[in-house]
Structure 1
Amino acid sequence: MSSSPSPDFSTGTALVIGGSGGIGRVICRRLAEAGSDVVLTYRRNEATAEEVAAQIRSLKRRTAVEALNTEDEAETKKCVDQVANEFGGLHTLVYASGPDLPMMHISRTPPQQFRDYLLQDAAGFFNLVHAAIPHLRASQGSIVALHTAGLRRYPAKDILSVAPKAAVEAIIRGVAREEGRYGVRANGVGIGGVEAGMHWRLRESGHYNAAALEILQRNRALPYAGRAEDVAEAVLYLASSSAARYVTGQTINTDGGYAL
């Protein structure tokens, strides 16, 4: 395995939360192709996570696979500390995770269900950031979090995604402001109309029916859908300490112009 770091990254590894997902696995591969070691986490899909790790090893980069429930503060801190210690530091935290969710109007969303999704997504992300900050200060590293273009243009029946991701974006902006003095950067990628991961599960469940897909297409500036690779390229740019060295607190909407 190669141990020489890429000029795009400081020493250590990238940690991709949700690296077994439809978008997360492509992010892992692109980071490895760019010369970074990559550790990925999964919640349930261990087999896919191991397949991603095998791809990373084939690119001559170091890797590891970790099961992680980010709602557990102690478990999250232990995982982040262990990864940083074993890989000689942490240069990038990528948050590519989020629970599967139904699409419902606010009036039909049970309050307990709303609280559950806030805990899984927003509080889980906070646990990660809190654990990662000391390591990112040491490496002058960065955080890149995937959220949603729905923060700029609200899609009906999407409150269980938009509200928790609004908190994720607020945390990103807070870290950018507070940790910039240590050389830490924090940015987001707003996803919209990307045919990967949750998109296909929503289609299979019927939440994305023909009418919903037609509305999405009509509201997009570009005449084609996004791919996981489009998101991965945005993440790679924001993670790079050379290309994006002066970029922090920002969101790149990878949405085909949906938010316009």
Structure 2
Amino acid sequence: MIDSNFKEGCVLIVGGSGGIGSLCAQEFANSNAKVAITYYKNEQAAIDIANEIKADVNIYQLDNSNSKSVEDTFKNVIKDYGSINTLVNAAGFDIPQKFINEIDIDLWKGVIDADINGFFNLIKSGLPYLRESKGSIVFISSAGLFKYPPGDILSVAPKATIEHVLRGIAKEEGKNGIRANSIALGVIDTGIFHRLREENNTFFDDAWHEAVMNTLAIKRFGFPKEVADTAVFLASSKGGYITGHCVPVDGGYHL
């Protein structure tokens, strides 16, 4: 049985070829929603994920830093599905773990442009379609918004801005039927975390692992499916009276 929020149109998952995004795509498909996913460079990963999901999934190339690419992608999705009932932003970026004093201005500007302006490009193109469908936005964010982890400013700072944009959308667009929420991730055992651990095993060593475990109420890292289940809930009619919230999926890191 399909949730009423997913009957018309599709769930568009930006970054659906990544670790969290691909699990979101699978869980939305498991809920009988029609799913579309985007990729930036890795087309083959998107093709593989679409083939793994036991449903009809269309893939689209999207560069969210390019407003024309975003606009064209939305038009193509609307042409294929008729409408977009949910916009999930699960796009991840190759952001280095650096302390503030180590960051040069070009790196800072690049991250801010990719993260904040890239997100705004999605919102600028997507809001008119979400108004038509009375749809919702789910943004994959960071638990660092609640408790700052040293060395993570390049992830946390832009997401703090995006969080306030989401609250603004919730406040301003609620009258148009749009809801906007986010999920604040702790350490999730997939995707970007795996890459960071492989690239910098001197930072993510046994001492780091023990220190992180000491901050968690639930003594394990998160499963990507737990994030995906939360995204489906927030977008579904079961979360229909929830808007403007950032929901931590972090094992109690924020406590």
Whole-angstrom distance in 1 between the partners of 2:228 and 2:127: 23
Whole-angstrom distance in 2 between the partners of 1:156 and 1:212: 12
> What is the DSSP-based 3-state SS (H/G/I as helix, E as strand, rest coil) of the residue aligned with 1:190?
strand
Letter in 1 for 2:83: G
Residue matched to 1:9: 6
- Between the two proteins, what is the percent identity of the paired residues? 37
Residue matched to 2:226: 230
Residue matched to 1:23: 20
Match of 1:44 among 23, 41, 44: 41
Whole-angstrom distance in 1 between the partners of 2:39 and 2:107: 22
Whole-angstrom distance in 2 between the partners of 1:15 and 1:64: 10
TM-score (norm 2): 0.96
Whole-angstrom distance in 2 between the partners of 1:46 and 1:209: 32
User: How far is 1:65 from its partner?
Assistant: 0.7
Aligned residues: 253
Tell whether 2:76 aligns with 1:79.
no
> What is the DSSP-based 3-state SS (H/G/I as helix, E as strand, rest coil) of the residue aligned with 1:23?
helix
Computed over aligned residues only, the root mean square deviation of the Cα atoms, in angstroms, reads 1.3
User: How far is 1:10 from its partner?
Assistant: 4.4
Residue matched to 1:255: 250
> What is the DSSP-based 3-state SS (H/G/I as helix, E as strand, rest coil) of the residue aligned with 2:217?
coil
Whole-angstrom distance in 1 between the partners of 2:49 and 2:216: 31
Residue 8 of structure 1 contacts residue 243 of structure 1 at CA under 8 Å; is this kept in 2?
no
> What is the DSSP-based 3-state SS (H/G/I as helix, E as strand, rest coil) of the residue aligned with 1:82?
helix
1:198-224 deviation digits (Å, cap 9, x = unpaired): 110111011422222221111111111
User: How far is 1:85 from its partner?
Assistant: 2.4
User: How far is 1:225 from its partner?
Assistant: 1.1
Residue matched to 2:116: 122
Letter in 2 for 1:26: L
Whole-angstrom distance in 1 between the partners of 2:27 and 2:8: 17
Unmatched runs of 5 consecutive residues or more in structure 2: none
Which structure 2 residues correspond to residues 119-158 of structure 1 after superposition, within 5 A? 119-158=113-152
Letter in 2 for 1:247: I
Whole-angstrom distance in 2 between the partners of 1:130 and 1:10: 24
TM-score (norm 1): 0.94
User: How far is 1:7 from its partner?
Assistant: 2.3
Residue matched to 1:53: 50
User: How far is 1:192 from its partner?
Assistant: 0.6
Whole-angstrom distance in 1 between the partners of 2:67 and 2:225: 31
Match of 2:102 among 100, 104, 108: 108
Residue 69 of structure 1 contacts residue 75 of structure 1 at CA under 8 Å; is this kept in 2?
yes
Letter in 2 for 1:228: P
Tell whether 2:212 aligns with 1:216.
yes
> What is the DSSP-based 3-state SS (H/G/I as helix, E as strand, rest coil) of the residue aligned with 1:65?
strand
1:236-258 deviation digits (Å, cap 9, x = unpaired): 11110x10110000011000000
Match of 1:186 among 180, 183, 187: 180
Structure 1 window deviating more from structure 2 (203-212 vs 173-182): it is 203-212
> What is the DSSP-based 3-state SS (H/G/I as helix, E as strand, rest coil) of the residue aligned with 2:238?
coil
Letter in 2 for 1:37: K
Which structure 2 residues correspond to residues 161-172 of structure 1 after superposition, within 5 A? 161-172=155-166
Structure 1 window deviating more from structure 2 (77-86 vs 25-34): it is 77-86
Letter in 2 for 1:223: K
User: How far is 1:52 from its partner?
Assistant: 1.4
User: How far is 1:129 from its partner?
Assistant: 1.0
